[in-house]
Amino acid sequence: MKSVQSHPSAALLGVANKPPLTWELPQPRRPIALKVAILLDGKGGTLRDTVVVVSGDKIERIGGPVPQEAQVYDLGGLTVAPGLIDTHVHVTYHFSHDRFIDNRLVGQDEPMPDSVLFGVENGVRILEAGFTTVQSLGPGTQWDLPLREAWARNLVPGPRLLTSLQWFRYDQPGQTVQPEPELRAMVRDLKARGADAIKIFASTSVREGSRPTLTQAQLDVICGECNSQGLRSVVHAYTSAVKMAVQAGCTAIEHGTGGMTEEALALMAANGTFFDPTVGVVTENYVANKDKYLGVGNYTAEAFAMMEKLIANPKPPEEFIRSLKVPGLKIVYGSDATAGAHGHNAEGLLYRIKFGGQDAMQALVSATSLAAESLNLGNEIGTIAPGMTADIVAMRGDYLADATALRQMAFVMKGGRVFKYQP
């Protein structure tokens, strides 16, 4: 029985110029056996010449014989790894009519069907690139819920999705920070609506000077309420706001590389705060699509002059390079992928390795087991081991010898279902 077929909507989703994304319909009842030459388990371990047996949506075992009844995929000559995780994307952001569509920045509400359909297209590109889990962080994430449901049920191909639904931001004209009871109520409301995490904008954008927008007391209230509600708090922070957010007990720092002190890095390590520097993809994408961004929101000529200067000297911020040397600091991978960057999510990992000096295995761990831990999913995804969810990818070549193998995904499995197989 032919179990892998071309995805019927590939042309409709704008990927007809590529080899077709593939997926299994229906999900086979018999086990799947992956014959593996090189396996990176997501925690720094390496296995060679083994077999991974998948039953349903779980990894049943590693090693041993191939079950007689199994559907076999020969992944020899490929590097097998856990499905990659991007902890910071904007999954519905897209280009439309040659302008960047983002409800907040443009100041208009995009109809839910438009946002969701563009999200579907982005999801195909993300999954095809080997990212089986992403976290979508506001604004413009209010329509993430139907995408999360559709991808969870495999109604359309796409990654596992976690979402903040919106964000806490108080640096816009005419805005004032809500009193403490309202802040706590907003956290509880987002939880009730289905948010997986709370996104907090504690600094302005780097394009606007990176100044703090919340006081220590305000961050204490928001992050404290998140902790009491069992919600993760993900904080956009630069300069002094980084230390403030860590002291408030937040879960993760996003960006943080502008003016962050060694004290703040050490404090993150001491408190177990996850650090997502988001270097390498976002700026290059902005510059590559300058004609579509320029003049929208804070994408000014001055901002682009700054970003073009950074591109001309591709060395990562000093804070990122220093962070690699901080013992115990949990550096995770997030791309901040927005319009134009979906499907290129791995470029940030390559940037960290090539220009930042991050070890290739360490980079992979940051995008697998450690990223899963930051999402409170460390016991489910991010590692190839018996009992874990079968999120498995395979790339052409030897990743540890040449990390550009990340650009050559030949096999993508999410939850035991094969979505791509191009040997």
CATH number assigned to the domain covering 84-281+316-374: 3.20.20.140
pTM for this model (two decimals)? 0.89
Cα 110 from chain centroid?
23
Q: Tell me phi and psi for residue 2, to 5 degrees.
A: -80, 115
User: Distance between the two ends of the chain, CA-based, in angstroms?
Assistant: 18
Q: Where in the chain is the domain with CATH 3.20.20.140?
A: 84-281+316-374
pLDDT tens per residue across all 423 residues of the chain: 333 333 333 333 333 344 445 555 555 578 999 999 999 999 999 999 999 999 999 999 999 999 999 999 999 999 999 999 999 999 988 876 544 444 333 334 577 777 888 899 999 999 999 999 999 997 767 789 999 999 999 999 999 999 999 888 887 777 888 999 999 999 999 999 999 999 999 998 776 767 899 999 999 999 999 999 999 999 999 999 999 999 999 999 999 987 789 999 999 999 999 999 998 877 777 777 777 777 777 778 887 787 777 777 778 888 899 999 999 999 999 999 988 899 999 999 999 999 999 999 999 999 999 999 999 999 999 999 999 999 999 999 999 999 999 999 999 999 999 999 998
CA distances from 75 to 60, 66, 394 (A): 18, 14, 7
In angstroms, rounded to a whole number, what is the distance separating the alpha carbons of residues 372 and 388?
A: 12
pLDDT at 21: 55
Which alpha helices (H) appear in 101-178, and where do they start and end? 112-128, 144-152
Task: Tell me the helices (H) and strands (E) count for the chain, helix number first.
Answer: 13, 20
Q: Which amino acid is at 211?
A: R
The answer to whether residues 212 and 304 touch, using CB atoms and an 8 Å cutoff, is no
pLDDT at 22: 55
Closest by Cα among 400, 372, 387 to 86:
372
Collapsing DSSP states into helix, strand and coil, what is residue 190?
Answer: helix
| 95 conformational bin, left if phi > 0, alpha if psi -120 to 50, beta if neither | beta
CA distances from 74 to 27, 174, 359, 371 (A): 19, 60, 28, 28
Closest by Cα among 270, 230, 237 to 252:
237
CB atoms within 10 A of CB 258: 16
pLDDT at 109: 56
Q: Does domain 4-83+382-421 have CATH number 2.30.40.10?
A: yes
Q: Which amino acid is at 337?
A: A
